[in-house]
Amino acid sequence: DADVTQTPRNRITKTGKRIMLECSQTKGHDRMYWYRQDPGLGLRLIYYSFDVKDINKGEISDGYSVSRQAQAKFSLSLESAIPNQTALYFCATSDWESASGTGGYTFGSGTRLTVV
Amino acid sequence: RKEVEQDPGPFNVPEGATVAFNCTYSNSASQSFFWYRQDCRKEPKLLMSVYSSGNEDGRFTAQLNRASQYISLLIRDSKLSDSATYLCVVNKAGSGNTGKLIFGQGTTLQVKP
């Protein structure tokens, strides 16, 4: 099994629908992140969480919300999806040492979301 | 100005060629630097860290110039399997050590037979 699992892998949804992307990890890491990737823009941070009671906005949080249900689970919601949220979404995890020193983020395989 | 800037390429090179990618970062307080590799539609994976003294891992050499806020990656004897997008990554500096990474948009390499 993968260390970081994202579901679903692919999703097509309609404008205005609520959708949740889920992420779970078996790394035992305390830090979890949600990124989106668009061609030419690279990876942009949406939200991050350093532990279960800690939620922080990233650079592009508008239109998104998150929930850290447990240390191992971090979900991303689009309350009312719009077409410009069509992107590849990645969940990532780290601990303090890997994030600060060794750059060791572990990424999930990604969710390809299309909003029509 | 973007926090981390890379030439997006694409770089098209023949097998066996040497190719170099460059990256600049804006925050002089940044402390940690990395190169990630991302294959098409796959997740990014850590390729190597970048140390002040420069470091080498097989055919890959990374260099850091703090004065110019510049990072480089050199690939020697390119293989077809090196075709991918290479992401320059910098630890976000700030109060304390937040541990957040800032990703460049990536440089695409295509190695041709």
Selected residue of B5, B25, B43 to mutate for chain A interface (largest A Cβ count, 10 A): B43
Residue B98 has pLDDT above 70, yes or no: no
pLDDT of A97 reads: 66
pLDDT of B96 reads: 46
- B44 touches A: beta carbon within 8 Å: yes
- List of chain B residues whose C-beta atoms are within 8 Å of the C-beta of residue A42: 87, 103-106
DSSP string, B81-107: GG-EEEEEEEEPP-SS----EEE---E
Give the span between the Cα atoms of A18 and B90, in whole angstroms. Answer: 34
The residues in B 51-80 lying below 8 A from A, measured between CB atoms, are none
pLDDT in tens, B46-92: 999 898 888 999 999 999 999 999 999 999 999 999 999 999 999 87
Structural Rg of chain A based on CA atoms: 13
pLDDT of B97 reads: 47
Tell which residue, B77, B93, B95, B88, has the closest CA to residue B13.
Answer: B77
Name the CA dihedral angle for A41, B21, B41, A47, rounded to a multiple of 10 degrees: -40
Q: How is the beta sheet containing A64-70 ordered, strand by strand?
A: A4-7, A19-25, A73-78, A64-70
pLDDT in tens, B15-57: 999 999 999 999 888 888 999 999 998 999 999 989 888 899 9
SS (H, E, C) A55-103: EEECCCCCCEEEEEEECCEEEEEECCCCHHHCEEEEEEEECHHHHHHHC
- A39 touches B: beta carbon within 8 Å: no
Mean pLDDT (10-residue bins), chain A, 116 residues: 91 97 94 91 90 91 96 96 96 76 83 97
